[in-house]
C-alpha cells in the first residue's frame, strides 16, 4: 500500500493542462483603383500605408432623367462596376471580375546563419500555407485553399483570407501566387447565366473551375452628343494565357514577430486601376497578346497594402 | 516522478524478509527472470507491474512546421492466468504529454491514457518440465478509455492528448525459449484502428516485432538486448494523411533485469533508434523505461 501511494504521488497524468497560442500573421486582401502614394524610396514594389478616409462606394445611382439605352454591352447605368482606363482612353467598366489567390508565404529576411536552410529550401519546396500545416480559417476562408477575390466589391475593404502560423523571426517579403480555382476554393461563386436582354442587365457569373481570372466588362464604342449609345462587351479569362507563378513583394521595413509579438497582419493589395495602362481594351477580346499583357498587369498590380503588428485594422463603414 | 518510482522500489526492498512471498519460480518450475508479458503461466498466477517511460521526438520541418513532443508515462499492469493455457492482462497508462511548435505555441495535457487488454494463448510447448519452448498467439485490444483533455474549456491539440480515444485491436504470435541462463523471446503483431479517435485522429496500421535475448547471472541479474521494430502506415487526421507519420523504426534496446527478492523483478531499458526510415521528417529520441513487477 505504501509503495503504491509512493508510486502514484507526483506521477504523470496528474499535472495541470496548459496551452499557449502561437505566433499568427493575419492575411487580408484589399483592392483599390490605384496604389496609395508613399513617401520615401520607391522600389517599384511599394508597401502602402493604410488609406485614410471612408471607402468609395461602387454603385452608381440611377438618374431620374431618361437616358438612351447603350446597347451591345451591359446595362451600364444600372449595374455596379469598377472603371479603369486603357492606353487609348477607353473606359473599361468591369461588372464581374474574379481573381484567384492560390497561396501566400512570408519570406524570412536573409542572414548568414539562415543560408544553409535557404539553400535547402530552394531545393525542397517550402511549406507555405497549405492544408494541414499552419493555415487557420477566418471568416469562412482559409489560406489552406485558393481564395476567389471578387474585385467588383467595395474598395479598401479588408477581406480576411485566413491566419498563418509562423516561426519567430524577421520577415522581409511576402510571396503571393495566383492559381486556378478548384471545387473547394473559398469564395467561388455559383455559375449563373446572363439575362437575355440587351443591354444585359444581369451579367453571367462565370464558372471559375480551372480559371485564374474571369472578367465581364464593356467599354463605350459610340457616343451621341457626349452620351454613350453603344457599348462592346469584353468577356475574357486566362484561357491560353500564362500568368506568373509567384509574385515576391518586398516589405519597406521587416516584419518582426516573436514570443512577445505574437500577432501581426499583412494586407495584400490589388491595384486594379493599373491593369489596362498599356493595353487597348478594344483588342482584348480578339488579341491574345493584349490579353497576355492584361494578365501580366494583374500579377504586377499585387502589392503590400498595409502591414503591422496586431490584428487586421477594422473596416471603415461605407458612406 | 522518477523519484516516486524509485521511492516505491526502495520501500519494497526495505520490507522485512519475514514476509511470505508467492513463489512463481516454484510453481512454474523455471527461475528465468521474466518481465511483464513474457512470463510462463500456471493456474492462478497473478502479476502486477508499474513501468515508467520517458520519450521525445521531433517531426516536420524546422522553422516551417516543426513539432517537438515530450511524453512521460506510468503504466500500471496486472495479469492473471486462469490455467496453463491462457493469461490475461490489463494495463492503464497515466500520461503527461507536452509539445512546442515552430510558431512558439505550446501545450501540455495530463490524464489517463487508453487502456490495453490482452490475452495470451499458450498454444504449444515442448514436453520437458520445465518447458524449454513455448509459443502461442496474443490477442489485444486498446480501448478508448481516455478523456479528451481541455484547457479553459478548449480541447488541447491532439499532440498533447494523453490518449487518442480510438479502438485498436491487435493480433500476434510469440515464441519463447527458456534455457537458463539464456532466454530468447520474439513476437510479432499487427494493429488496426477500427474508427477515428479524438479530433478525427486515426493511427495508421502497424506491425510490431520484438526479438529479445537475455543472459542471467546466478538467477539474480540478467542483461538483455532486444531489437524492437515498428512498421507503420501514415496516420490520418479527419481523413487527411499526415505526411510526417509512419514508416519504419527499429530500436536497439539494451536492458537490465534484477530480482532482489523472489517474485520481484526490477527492469530498466534504454531504447535507441538504429534504423529510421520514417515518412517525412521524424526524429525519435532514445526512450528510457524503468519498471517493477511482482508475483502475488
HEC secondary structure over B228-242? EEEEECCCEECCEEC
B248: pLDDT strictly greater than 80: yes
Alpha-carbon distance of A33 to B18, in angstroms, equals 93
Question: Across residues B116-128, what is the average pLDDT?
Answer: 91
Question: Which grid cell sits at A271?
Answer: 491595384
Q: Do the domain assignments include residue A26?
A: yes
**Residue A28 confidence (pLDDT):** 95
Whether A22 and chain B come into contact, CB under 8 Å, resolves to yes
Whether B109 and chain A come into contact, CB under 8 Å, resolves to yes
Residue A23 to residue B103, Cβ atoms within 8 A: yes
Question: Which grid cell sits at A56?
Answer: 468609395
- Nearest 10 degrees: CA dihedral of B81, B82, B83, B89? -30
User: How do residues B157-166 score in pLDDT, each as one tens digit?
Assistant: 999 999 999 9
- In chain B, what residues touch A6 (CB-CB under 8 Å)? 4, 7-8, 11
Whether B160 and chain A come into contact, CB under 8 Å, resolves to yes
**Residue A122 confidence (pLDDT):** 52
User: How do residues A108-156 score in pLDDT, each as one tens digit?
Assistant: 998 765 556 556 555 544 434 333 345 777 777 888 889 999 999 999 9
B59: pLDDT strictly greater than 50: yes
Whether B112 and chain A come into contact, CB under 8 Å, resolves to yes
* Other CB atoms within 10 Å distance of the CB of residue A224: 10
Q: Do the domain assignments include residue A132?
A: yes
A53: pLDDT strictly greater than 60: no
Question: Across residues A236-253, what is the average pLDDT?
Answer: 91
Q: What one-character-per-residue DSSP string does chain B give?
A: -HHHHHHHHHHHHTS-TTSPPP-HHHHHT------TTSPPP-TT-EEEEEEEEEEEEEES-TTTT-EEEEEEEEEEEEEEESSSSEEEEEEEEEEEEEEEETTS-EEEEEEE---EEEEEEEEEE-SSSS-SEEEEEEEEEE-------EETTEEPPGGG-S-----EEEEEEEEEEEETTEEEEEEEEEE---S--GGGEEPPPEEEEEEEEEEEETTTEEEEEEEEEEEEPPPEETTEE-TTS-EEEEEEEEEEEEEEETTEEEEEEEEEEEEEEESSSEEEPPEEEEEEEEE-
Under a CB-based contact definition with an 8 Å cutoff, are residues A268 and A302 in contact? yes
Nearest chain A Cα to B10, which residue? A3
- Closest-CA residue to A82 (of A254, A255, A273, A306): A273
Rg over alpha carbons for chain A, rounded to the nearest Å, is: 24
- Option in A3, A11, A19 nearest B74 (CB): A11
- Option in B65, B96, B113 nearest A134 (CB): B65
Question: Across residues A172-188, what is the average pLDDT?
Answer: 94
A205: pLDDT strictly greater than 90: yes
Nearest chain A Cα to B155, which residue? A19
A10: pLDDT strictly greater than 90: no
Q: Residue with C-alpha cell 543472459?
A: B215
* Other CB atoms within 10 Å distance of the CB of residue B43: 11
**Residue A118 confidence (pLDDT):** 54
**Residue B64 confidence (pLDDT):** 78
Whether B61 and chain A come into contact, CB under 8 Å, resolves to yes
Alpha-carbon distance of A177 to A162, in angstroms, equals 15
B49: pLDDT strictly greater than 90: yes
Residue A19 to residue B157, Cβ atoms within 8 A: yes
B274: pLDDT strictly greater than 90: yes
A276: pLDDT strictly greater than 60: yes
- Option in A15, A21, A168 nearest B108 (CB): A15
**Residue A69 confidence (pLDDT):** 57
**Residue A117 confidence (pLDDT):** 56
Alpha-carbon distance of A93 to A61, in angstroms, equals 15
Nearest chain B Cα to A15, which residue? B110
Question: Across residues B74-100, what is the average pLDDT?
Answer: 94
For A20-24, A162-166, B123-127, which range has the lowest pLDDT when averaged over its residues?
B123-127
- Quickly state the pLDDT bin for A11 (edges 50, 70, 90): low
Q: Do the domain assignments include residue A4?
A: no
A139: DSSP letter: T
- Range among A267-276, B119-128, B255-264 rated most confident: A267-276
Residue B4 to residue A165, Cβ atoms within 8 A: no
- In chain B, what residues touch A19 (CB-CB under 8 Å)? 105-108, 151-152, 154, 156-157, 160
Whether A123 and chain B come into contact, CB under 8 Å, resolves to no
Question: Across residues A156-163, what is the average pLDDT?
Answer: 93
Question: Across residues B110-130, what is the average pLDDT?
Answer: 91
Which percentage of chain A shows pLDDT scores above 70? 77
**Residue B3 confidence (pLDDT):** 52
A25: pLDDT strictly greater than 80: yes
Whether A16 and chain B come into contact, CB under 8 Å, resolves to yes
**Residue B18 confidence (pLDDT):** 40
Whether B108 and chain A come into contact, CB under 8 Å, resolves to yes
- In chain B, what residues touch A127 (CB-CB under 8 Å)? 60-61, 64-65
Q: What is the mean pLDDT of chain B?
A: 88
Alpha-carbon distance of B106 to B110, in angstroms, equals 14
Whether A23 and chain B come into contact, CB under 8 Å, resolves to yes
- Quickly state the pLDDT bin for A22 (edges 50, 70, 90): very high
Whether A118 and chain B come into contact, CB under 8 Å, resolves to no
Residue A17 to residue B150, Cβ atoms within 8 A: yes
Question: Across residues A279-291, what is the average pLDDT?
Answer: 94
* Other CB atoms within 10 Å distance of the CB of residue B107: 23
**Residue B174 confidence (pLDDT):** 96
pTM: 0.73
Q: Residue with C-alpha cell 532514445?
A: B286
Which of left, alpha, beta for B130 (phi over 0: left; psi -120 to 50: alpha)?
beta
Whether B110 and chain A come into contact, CB under 8 Å, resolves to yes
**Residue A115 confidence (pLDDT):** 56
Question: Which grid cell sits at B269?
Answer: 531499458
For A20-24, A166-170, B2-6, B291-295, which range has the lowest pLDDT when averaged over its residues?
B2-6
Residue A18 to residue B106, Cβ atoms within 8 A: yes
- Option in B11, B106, B240 nearest A3 (CB): B11
Q: Print the domain residue range for A56.
A: 21-309
- In chain A, what residues touch B108 (CB-CB under 8 Å)? 15-19
Query: Nearest 5°: CA angle at A107, between A106 and A113?
Result: 140
**Residue A65 confidence (pLDDT):** 42
Q: Do the domain assignments include residue A192?
A: yes
Is A39 in a helix, a strand, or coil? coil
Nearest chain B Cα to A108, which residue? B63
A272: pLDDT strictly greater than 60: yes
ipTM over 0.90: no
Question: Domain residue spans in chain B?
Answer: 2-295
Residue B1 to residue A12, Cβ atoms within 8 A: yes
**Residue A82 confidence (pLDDT):** 95
- Quickly state the pLDDT bin for B129 (edges 50, 70, 90): confident
Q: Do the domain assignments include residue A11?
A: no
For B4-18, B154-168, B239-253, which range has the lowest pLDDT when averaged over its residues?
B4-18
Under a CB-based contact definition with an 8 Å cutoff, are residues A246 and A176 in contact? yes
- Closest-CA residue to B136 (of B189, B201, B183): B189
Q: Residue with C-alpha cell 478548384?
A: A182
Q: What is the mean pLDDT of chain A?
A: 81
Whether A21 and chain B come into contact, CB under 8 Å, resolves to yes
Is A106 in a helix, a strand, or coil? strand
Q: How far apart are the two ends of chain B, measured CA to CA in Å?
A: 25
Whether B95 and chain A come into contact, CB under 8 Å, resolves to yes
Whether A106 and chain B come into contact, CB under 8 Å, resolves to no
For B6-20, B121-135, B260-274, which range has the lowest pLDDT when averaged over its residues?
B6-20
Q: Which of residues 206-235 of A touch B (CB under 8 A)?
A: none
Whether B237 and chain A come into contact, CB under 8 Å, resolves to yes
- Option in A9, A15, A131 nearest B4 (CB): A9
CA distance A14 to chain B (A): 6
Which percentage of chain B shows pLDDT scores above 70? 90
CA distance A75 to chain B (A): 47
- Quickly state the pLDDT bin for A191 (edges 50, 70, 90): very high
**Residue A139 confidence (pLDDT):** 75
**Residue B162 confidence (pLDDT):** 94
Residue A3 to residue B150, Cβ atoms within 8 A: no
CATH code of the region B2-295: 2.40.128.130
Residue A18 to residue B108, Cβ atoms within 8 A: yes
- In chain A, what residues touch B72 (CB-CB under 8 Å)? 12
A48: pLDDT strictly greater than 70: no
- In chain A, what residues touch B154 (CB-CB under 8 Å)? 19
Q: Residue with C-alpha cell 484502428?
A: B193
Report how many domains make up chain A: 1
Q: Do the domain assignments include residue A315?
A: no
**Residue A225 confidence (pLDDT):** 85
A90: pLDDT strictly greater than 50: yes
Q: What is the largest CA-CA distance in chain B?
A: 62
Under a CB-based contact definition with an 8 Å cutoff, are residues B105 and A165 in contact? yes
- Closest-CA residue to A165 (of A143, A198, A181): A143
Amino acid at each position: 500500500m505504501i509503495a503504491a501511494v509512493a508510486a502514484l504521488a507526483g506521477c504523470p497524468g496528474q499535472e495541470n493542462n496548459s496551452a499557449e497560442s502561437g505566433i499568427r500573421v493575419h492575411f487580408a486582401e484589399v483592392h483599390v483603383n490605384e496604389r496609395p502614394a508613399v513617401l520615401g524610396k520607391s522600389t517599384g514594389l511599394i508597401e502602402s500605408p493604410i488609406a485614410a478616409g471612408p471607402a468609395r462606394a461602387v454603385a452608381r445611382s440611377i438618374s431620374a432623367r431618361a437616358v438612351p439605352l447603350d446597347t451591345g454591352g451591359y446595362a451600364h447605368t444600372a449595374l455596379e462596376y469598377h472603371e479603369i482606363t486603357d492606353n487609348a482612353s477607353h473606359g473599361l467598366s468591369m461588372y464581374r471580375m474574379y481573381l484567384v489567390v492560390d497561396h501566400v508565404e512570408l519570406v524570412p529576411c536573409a542572414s548568414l546563419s539562415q543560408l544553409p536552410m535557404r539553400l535547402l529550401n530552394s531545393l525542397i519546396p517550402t511549406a507555405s500555407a497549405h492544408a494541414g500545416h499552419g493555415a487557420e480559417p477566418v471568416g469562412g476562408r482559409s489560406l489552406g485553399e485558393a481564395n476567389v477575390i471578387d474585385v467588383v466589391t467595395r474598395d479598401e475593404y479588408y477581406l480576411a483570407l485566413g491566419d498563418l502560423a509562423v516561426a519567430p523571426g524577421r520577415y522581409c517579403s511576402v510571396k503571393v501566387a495566383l492559381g486556378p480555382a478548384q471545387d473547394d476554393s473559398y469564395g467561388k461563386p455559383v455559375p449563373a447565366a446572363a439575362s437575355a436582354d440587351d443591354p444585359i442587365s444581369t451579367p453571367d457569373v462565370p464558372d471559375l473551375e480551372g480559371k485564374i481570372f474571369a472578367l465581364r466588362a464593356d467599354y463605350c464604342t459610340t457616343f451621341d452628343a457626349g452620351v454613350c449609345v453603344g457599348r462592346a462587351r469584353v468577356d475574357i479569362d486566362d484561357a491560353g494565357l500564362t500568368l506568373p507563378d509567384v509574385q515576391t513583394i518586398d516589405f519597406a521595413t521587416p516584419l518582426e514577430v516573436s514570443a512577445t509579438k505574437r500577432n501581426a497582419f499583412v494586407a495584400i493589395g490589388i491595384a486594379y486601376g493599373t491593369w489596362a495602362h498599356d493595353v487597348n481594351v478594344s483588342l482584348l477580346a480578339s488579341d491574345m497578346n493584349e490579353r497576355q499583357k492584361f494578365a501580366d498587369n494583374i500579377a504586377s498590380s499585387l502589392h503590400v497594402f498595409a502591414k503591422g503588428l496586431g490584428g487586421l485594422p477594422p473596416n471603415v463603414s461605407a458612406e | 516522478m522518477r523519484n516516486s518510482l524509485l521511492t516505491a522500489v526502495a520501500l519494497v526492498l526495505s520490507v522485512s524478509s519475514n514476509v511470505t512471498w508467492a513463489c512463481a519460480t516454484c510453481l512454474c518450475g523455471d527461475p528465468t527472470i521474466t518481465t511483464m508479458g513474457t512470463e510462463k503461466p500456471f493456474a492462478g498466477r497473478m502479476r502486477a507491474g508499474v513501468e515508467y517511460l520517458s520519450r521525445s521526438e521531433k517531426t516536420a520541418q524546422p522553422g516551417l512546421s516543426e513539432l517537438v513532443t515530450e511524453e512521460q508515462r506510468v503504466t500500471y499492469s496486472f495479469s492473471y492466468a486462469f490455467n496453463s493455457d491462457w493469461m490475461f492482462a490489463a494495463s492503464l497508462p497515466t500520461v503527461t504529454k507536452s509539445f512546442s511548435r515552430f510558431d512558439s505555441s505550446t501545450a501540455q495535457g495530463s490524464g489517463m491514457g487508453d487502456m490495453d487488454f490482452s490475452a495470451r494463448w499458450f498454444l504449444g510447448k515442448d514436453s520437458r518440465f520445465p518447458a524449454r519452448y513455448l509459443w502461442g498467439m496474443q490477442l489485444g485490444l486498446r480501448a478508448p478509455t481516455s478523456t479528451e483533455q481541455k484547457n479553459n474549456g478548449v480541447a488541447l491539440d491532439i499532440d498533447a492528448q494523453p490518449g487518442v480515444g480510438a479502438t485498436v485491436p491487435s493480433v500476434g504470435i510469440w515464441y519463447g525459449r527458456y534455457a537458463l541462463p539464456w532466454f530468447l523471446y520474439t513476437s510479432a503483431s499487427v494493429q488496426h484502428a477500427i474508427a477515428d479517435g479524438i479530433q478525427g485522429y486515426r493511427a495508421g496500421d502497424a506491425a510490431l516485432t520484438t526479438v529479445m535475448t537475455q543472459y542471467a547471472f546466478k538467477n539474480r541479474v540478467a542483461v538483455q538486448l532486444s531489437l524492437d521494430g515498428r512498421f507503420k502506415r501514415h496516420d490520418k487526421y479527419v481523413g487527411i494523411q499526415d505526411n510526417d507519420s509512419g514508416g519504419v523504426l527499429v530500436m536497439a534496446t539494451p536492458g537490465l533485469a534484477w530480482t532482489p527478492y523472489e517474485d520481484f523483478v526490477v527492469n530498466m531499458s534504454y531504447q535507441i533508434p538504429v534504423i529510421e526510415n520514417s515518412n517525412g521528417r521524424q526524429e525519435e529520441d532514445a526512450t528510457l523505461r524503468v519498471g517493477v513487477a511482482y508475483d502475488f
